[in-house]
Structure 1
Amino acid sequence: MQNAPDSELHQSVAFNEGLLVVFLFGGFAIYSFFMVWFLSRRVRALEKTAHQFADGNLTARASTRSHQRVGSLNRTFNHMADRIGHLVTSSRALTNAVAHELRSPLFRIQWQAELLGESQLDSKQQKKVASIIEDTDEMTSLVDELLYLARVDHPNTLFSLQTLDTSVWMNAQWPRWQALSTKSVSLDAPQDLPSVEADPHLLKRVITNLIGNAEKYATSQIAVRVYCEDTQLVIAVHDDGEGVESSHWPFIFDAFYSADRSRDKKRSGYGLGLAIVKQIVTRHGGHVEVDHSDLGGACFRVIFPC
């Protein structure tokens, strides 16, 4: 005699089958949750390493331990990082070596041109000699900037960090910076600014470069404003020039990049001044920004932790 569909046995079997399905789906959901959680932890660790590498830490490498790797992705990332690090190091070494080697022949050319300029020459020859001296001066300045960039860019370069009273230090240096510009230059540095850990010589170079850059493009006014934002010290240099188009912002701090299409070196320089600013600030644990200024031109900001 067959059991009725609504018998106790059928109900028990149906209940057990339903319970089994619930357990299977529940177990699968828990297993999937923990798998995603473990994978996301590993991916976040790899992402953190990638960000460190992108921010200039060429020694950053992903862990290859079994409980931290994401398949072969960690080894692949490390291989890529090794190749990029080697290329960057080789490029730095080549730039530094070329800059060093250029100094001697440039000095000889300049010296001989100056001697030639003191001899008996007609006006046309004098102009040509003067042009040679001017060109060698320009090349010497470029070489000096390259060597300076290579020095601050080198990870083993030691900085002489000091605790600087920002307000006192800025006001003490201000007369020298004012003398750099023929424009109207103002400083807004309140007395209650926090101290900052920095190399005073390099910090001076940062502000000198920013004021020098503003001097090239300002119409009549440059403003340096120093203020505290959250736990950061901000030094902003504004000008009332034409400004910088936003399409140039991602590249404006790259070496040899110029947003000035005229290629007038007396105005745009060599594209190394802002690159030096970025390297110095980055080595101090800060970052750089460019934006529109309320004066109508550009605003270059350097942000330091304090």
Structure 2
Amino acid sequence: MNKLGAKIAISVSAVILSLLVCLLLVSHFFLRPYYLHQTKQRLLQISQELADTSTENLPRKIESLNQQSDVAIVVVPRSQSLDALNEYASHLLARQGVSLNRFWITAEVIRQLDSRHSVNKIYDQMKQKSSFYVRYITKGNDIILIGISLAHMNEIIQMVNQFNGLLFTLALVIALIWVWAFSRRITKPLDQLKRAAQEIADLKFQQVAIQTNDEVEELARSINQMSQKLQQAHQELTQKNQDLKRLTADVTHELKTPLALIQAYSMGIKDDLDDGTYLDTIISQAERMSSLIDQLLSYAKLEQDPLHLTLCHPVALWESCLAQHRVIFETEKITCRYAEPPQPDQWQIRADPEKLKMVFHNLLRNATKYTDNGQIKIHWSAGEQHLFLHITNGLARETKHLNHIWKPFFVLDEARDKGRSGSGLGLAVVKTILERHGYSYNVKQHGGWITFTIGMTLVPLTDQN
């Protein structure tokens, strides 16, 4: 038995033992007085009934009480001598089956009756191991004797205490067995929860299966939820640490080349090797580094900048961004086929317009840079609660690790030609902004085409006012 089970068993046993001792003490000291008090009250009630009964109805009342209860009631006249009075009373009691070894009405009893009209007496019958409790009352010129036999209380109390001792010993044994089983039922799931908590502390995220239909089961569910969420948070943290390491390596890679060029051309100037282009190269590489740092700062601020949400028309925002890219399409000789949606003004979303424009511009720049066949296809689709924008461009080669495309510095051009691939932050910016809005995003590649889809939550017409 574990510590908690032992505590429960000891506590319950102590309570039962304390109750047993208290009951034995109460029985020993208070049972006899209580029994005598109840007997006295009973005789007092009967005597009150007889006192309230008229003289004509008294014999009938006495006969009724003698038949219905275990008391003996006799009436003796006071005109007799004490000897005659006692002999007559004993005779009447004997006729009711009450045989007494010790019984005597004394002159003191008669004097007390004259002064207060009622007297209580107990006659110990010695070897008969009983007593005779009598209440005397006067009614007219008669003395009414109301008596009841009492067994000797000391022996009864002793027997009761012995019986209670045996009974409570048996109850204690049964209680201990029950407490052991019950505490086992309680502590067993608690042991499981303790082991699960230790496993979670060791980053071994376990689930416990406990069905007790009580608070322990609710606690188990809470621990399971905590384990699940901690596991998810741990995985996310691990992934973020890996992303941070990769980001550090990528930033180092991005800065290494311009720094090396700046150093090399600076040494060339120092050695008088400048042909008139060295400073231009240094300036361009410095601008490239500055641009990269600005992009990194902007990307870092995205999760901190507050969103200024407002109702807006996403199609109108998209078409304004698309119009700005028309010149690039003409310059790059890219064919863009855009399917305008019917009644676009009916679609409204709650978003930050400036942040959403960043998403649209980055998606357009990404499609422009990576189209292999010089074609871009764009169309809209809508469901009951969501609006989807699909942007497709040609991509002949199969992209490895397509699910990594949303990560910072991941570029499709493995040669990392900056004239084409850029910094690799564009889709990471798209992902961050969409997640902050609670919008969905995905990418699929099939048959020489790659399609980016973003899903925006529509605002119902009833909520647009």
Code of the residue aligned with 1:189 in structure 2: it is E
Aligned match of 2:312: 164
Cα 1:205/1:289, change in 2 over 3 Å = same
* Root mean square deviation, CA, Å: 4.4
User: Is 1:232–2:383 an aligned residue pair?
Assistant: no
User: Is 1:302–2:454 an aligned residue pair?
Assistant: yes
Code of the residue aligned with 1:305 in structure 2: it is T
Q: CA deviation at 1:169?
A: 3.4
Stretch deviating more after TM superposition (168-177 or 192-201): 168-177
Residues 227-274 of structure 1: CA distance to partner in whole angstroms, max 9, x if unpaired?
A: 2134211111111232653x4221110112223211212222222110
2: distance between equivalents of 1:232 and 1:244?
Answer: 30
Aligned match of 1:211: 364
Name the SS of the counterpart of 2:218 in structure 1: coil
With a CA cutoff of 8 Å and minimum separation of 6, indicate the structure with the bigger relative contact order. 1
Which of the pair has more CA radius of gyration? 2
Residues 12-52 of structure 1: CA distance to partner in whole angstroms, max 9, x if unpaired?
A: xxxxxxxxxxxxxxxxxxxxxxxxxxxxxxxxxxxxxxxxx
Aligned match of 2:300: 150
1: distance between equivalents of 2:288 and 2:367?
Answer: 20
TM alignment of 1:18-57, pairs within 5 A:
none
Code of the residue aligned with 2:285 in structure 1: it is D
Aligned match of 1:140: 290
TM-score, structure 1 normalization: 0.60
1: distance between equivalents of 2:222 and 2:436?
Answer: 34
Aligned match of 2:406: 253
TM alignment of 1:1-306, pairs within 5 A:
67-70=218-221, 72-76=223-227, 124-126=275-277, 128-154=278-304, 157-181=305-329, 182-193=333-344, 194-218=347-371, 219-242=373-396, 244-245=398-399, 247-292=400-445, 296-306=448-458
2: distance between equivalents of 1:71 and 1:138?
Answer: 52
TM-score, structure 2 normalization: 0.41
2: distance between equivalents of 1:263 and 1:291?
Answer: 22
Identity %: 24
Code of the residue aligned with 1:158 in structure 2: it is P
Is the Cα contact below 8 Å between 2:340 and 2:379 reproduced in 1? yes
Cα 1:256/1:170, change in 2 over 3 Å = closer
Residues 87-143 of structure 1: CA distance to partner in whole angstroms, max 9, x if unpaired?
A: 89999999xxxxxxxxxxxxxxxxxxxxxxxxxx876351x3222222222222221
Which 4+ residue blocks in structure 1 deviate beyond 6 angstroms?
81-94
Cα 1:72/1:203, change in 2 over 3 Å = closer
Name the SS of the counterpart of 1:130 in structure 2: helix
2: distance between equivalents of 1:148 and 1:200?
Answer: 17
Q: Identify unmatched segments of 5+ residues in structure 1.
A: 1-64, 95-120
Is the Cα contact below 8 Å between 1:244 and 1:259 reproduced in 2? no
Count of aligned residue pairs for this structure pair = 232
Is the Cα contact below 8 Å between 1:167 and 1:192 reproduced in 2? no
Q: CA deviation at 1:68?
A: 4.9
Code of the residue aligned with 1:301 in structure 2: it is T
